[in-house]
Amino acid sequence: MIGREQRTRLGGGDSVIPRRIPLIATIMALVFCVFYARLFQLQLIQSDDLRQRSQRNYVRTIRLEAPRGDILDRMGRVLATTRPAFGVQVVPNDLREPELVFEALGMLIDRAPDSLREQVGTPRGRARFQPVRLAGDLSQDQRGRVESHLYALSGVFTDVRPRRYYVEGALGSHILGYIGEIQRGQLEKRRFADYRAGEVIGQAGVESLLESKLRGRAGGRNVVVDVAGRLLRQIEKIEPKRGGDVVLTLDRDLQRAAEEALMPEVLGERGKIGAVVALDVRTGDVLAMVSKPDYDPNAFAGGIDSETWEALTEDEWRPMQNRAIAGQYPPGSTYKAFVAAAALEEGLVPPGKKIFCPGHFRLGRRTYRCWKRAGHGWVDLHKALVQSCDVFFYETGLALGVDRLAFFARGFNLGRRSQIRLPHEQPGLIPTSAWKERRFSEPWMKGETVSVAIGQGFNLVTPLQLALSYAAIANGGKILRPRLVLRSSDVDGNVTLGPEPEILGTVPVSERHLATVRAALEGVVHEPGGTGGRSRVPGIRVAGKTGTAQVVGLQHTEGIEEDEITFRHRDHAWFAAFAPVETPEIAVAAIVEHGGHGGSAAGPVVQRVLAAYFGDTEDRPEDERIEASAQPARVARVPGGIDVRN
């Protein structure tokens, strides 16, 4: 079958084939040597590096957000805390019957199935394994319903995340601030170097101020994922650590009383617009600080929606602004206390000096009116303050001159930031002739001094400044730095006591003359004919001063009944006070924007704050109450509070 001639025997020496086989073997061996070398390189030399890269493939760290610390009032009552927020997620790939699941889930969490379907969309590839969060904050009911049906909802699971919760809603919102996702600009800053995109950070108020204390330490879970990103099992877990607590100087009840004082008397009516500041005159502690209108910081807790944000930022009354430190208003007649102190210190009003008030004051060709057209007749300094006689202060102010007046006003720390640790504080303005020259390149006019002497004109103060300067009148002339934080701890539990009470300076007025002013301010509230009678608190000696800040020139409102003046053109109402006169503890300043007269609009606001402050002492037996006011027991009772006797 096989031709013999074709069958060449291999053994004979004529064939080239056997001699070439070693060549082939050598080529193959060389190729294999390259392979061995490469295996050696990858598996023995680069193996550590490649093993790490393998680990980066399959180990994923899931961040566990840490709850923020609580913010408490001075009595340890919770103002801001963290609560669990329950959410629902789905893994699109694991939805066995998407239509049915959306339908059912929609009913369970009160959402339209269509919106759920839209949220999930139709992801492709790896995205199918990435959970989609359908809801972030279920009610207790919704959560219960979802969890009891989980067995039937393939691909659906619930989760828990910490969420900021402001227990009292809008109470103290301007102090507490709010939280929000860290912004791109912040991420670039060095002090936020250890923050990640998407992390929550204090964006305003104490939340931002004490971010380093309140922030917890995030934990994490290391999990094994496959190439699709599907979570397979957990390797390890580091529990997140809750942030430290912050104890504020605020008194929740006092804060609430101050807020309620600005609330509408009748339901449905617009509440008052304005601000209230209450300070401890011995320590500078901010006991209450209210700005109205305000906002509910809870709206920010889960990421604020653009609609709410726009409503807040575009509101003509600017609810986000803290009027207590950023609202600048002419002080009106509350300024007269400082003019009086200056005149006493300069010896311009020796005891017994009287000025006749005919109801108007003439300077050159212009006539300046006293608010009481009939005139006050002969008035001394005491009566001038008690009845807020304008003519007395026109004359006294002219005698002092604008620059001497400014010297004393600045001595009371007006026209200068109080150094409270809150952003956006405004400095106010105390004009001098040099200032006007600089600002307008015009010389100071005497008529302007007349306006300034009764707190109108260029003068601007913030409610906080006014409260501080009245605190200085009360405490014997000490300018205190306002204090917001009593105590704070960080994530590791290290407690830091708040800043010690700090005296920034002393007013350039002797105690003798301050006592004269104090007596007159007490008269404002307690004497017949005083403008501040609406601020009386039973059993407590209150001293204070009314003020009315003109919003537009008199010519616009002359002769019109108050009710008929456009709201925006109505005057601002001031009241600044301290109590008890014999051993002052608290100073309060309140402004009611467009409230009209100080005594009638702002006086009752201060009255309610003082009543709330002294309310509990009133119930106690007389001897204890006296002891309480003699010794600042209120402060000593506070955990971490510092007892300062000045």
Partner 1 sequence: MFGIDRRLVQNFDWMLLGLIALLACMGIVNLYSATTAAGDPLSDEVRRQLFSLGLGTAAALVVAAIDYRHFERLALPAYLVAIGLLVLTLVIAPVTRGSQSWLFGGRFQPSELAKVAIVLAVSRYFLRNPPGETRQLRDLFWPVLIVAAPVGLIVAQRDLGVALLTLLIGGTYFALVRIPWKVWFGIAALGVAALAALWTFGLADYQKERILAVVDPGRDPLASGYQVNQSRIAIGSGGLTGTGYRRGTQTQLRFLPTQHTDFAFSVVAEEWGFLGSSAVLTLYGTLLLWGLVVARSSKDEFGALLAIGVVGCLFWPAALNVAMVLGLAPVIGVPLPLFSYGGSALVTTLALTGVLLNVSMRRYVF
**Interface ranges with partner 1 (CB under 8 A):** 1-2, 6-10, 14-18, 20-21, 23-25, 27-29, 31-32, 34-36, 38-40, 42-44, 46-47, 49-51, 53-55, 57-58, 224-228, 232
C-alpha distances in angstroms, 15 versus 25, 27, 108, 458? 18, 21, 87, 119
Of residues 63, 298, 64, 60, the one with CA closest to residue 162: 64
- Per the document, the length of the chain is 646
Cis peptide before 297 (omega within 30 of 0): no
Residue 554 Cα distances to 276, 301, 361, 571, angstroms: 26, 46, 16, 10
Which CB sits closer to partner 1, 20 or 568?
20
Q: Which is nearer to partner 1, 21 or 266 (CB)?
A: 21
**Closest C-alpha to 271, from 598, 551, 595:** 595
| Minimum gap (Å) between residue 60 Cβ and partner 1 | 11
C-alpha 32/C-alpha 28 separation (Å) is 6
SS3 of residue 201 by DSSP: strand
Q: Of the two residues 226 and 315, which places its CB atom closer to partner 1 in the complex?
A: 226
- Find the catalytic residue in 333, 469, 535, 600: 333
**Residue 333 bears catalytic tag:** yes
Cα–Cα distance for residue pair 475/511, rounded to 1 Å: 10
Q: Which is nearer to partner 1, 54 or 631 (CB)?
A: 54
Side by side, the strands of the sheet bearing 572-579 are 286-292, 274-280, 586-592, 572-579, 543-549
Which residue is it, tokens 């020259």?
437
Q: Smallest distance from the beta carbon of 6 to partner 1, in angstroms?
A: 6
Q: Do residues 565 and 595 lie in contact, with contact meaning Cβ atoms separated by under 8 Å?
A: no
Minimum distance from residue 221 beta carbon to partner 1 (Å): 17
Closest to 639 measured CA to CA, from 173, 75, 39, 47: 75
Least distance to partner 1, CB of residue 313, Å: 42
Q: Rounded to whole angstroms, how far apart are CA atoms 594 and 572?
A: 4
Q: Which helix (H) or strand (E) holds 603?
A: helix 603-619
User: Nearer to partner 1 by C-beta: 129 or 613?
Assistant: 129
| CB 5 to partner 1: min, Å | 10
Torsion angle of alpha carbons 260, 263, 264, 265, nearest 10°?
20
In the complex with partner 1, the residue whose CB is nearer, 126 or 424, is 126
* Cβ at position 40, least distance to partner 1 in Å: 7
Q: Cβ closer to partner 1: 10 or 267?
A: 10
**Shortest separation between residue 93's beta carbon and partner 1, angstroms:** 14
Point out the residues that are catalytic.
333
